[in-house]
Amino acid sequence: MTAGNKLARILATRTGEAIELAFVTEDGRTTRVLASDDQIDRLVDELEDILNSPAETGSGEPPAAA
């Protein structure tokens, strides 16, 4: 797995039937992804779970992709 990049900004817009997310890192690189409404809904649920749970001290590594 590659090292993570620090996020500077996230932009979101609807593009046709999909939602486009643009992730801009501190070094100026932009990665764009298209997601369905259902994928965005699941992402929001996961982020809410993380934000509402106590902070854990860990390795700093993201969890393995499902």
Confidence of residue 3 (pLDDT cuts 50, 70, 90): confident
Neighbours of 48 (CB within 10 A): 10
Mean pLDDT of 7-18: 96
How distant is the alpha carbon of residue 34 from its chain centre? 12
Confidence of residue 4 (pLDDT cuts 50, 70, 90): confident
pLDDT of residue 35: 98
Please check whether residue 66 is in contact with residue 60, taking contact to mean a CB–CB distance below 8 angstroms: no
Q: What is the pLDDT of residues 25-65, one digit of tens each?
A: 999 999 999 999 999 999 999 999 999 999 876 666 666 66
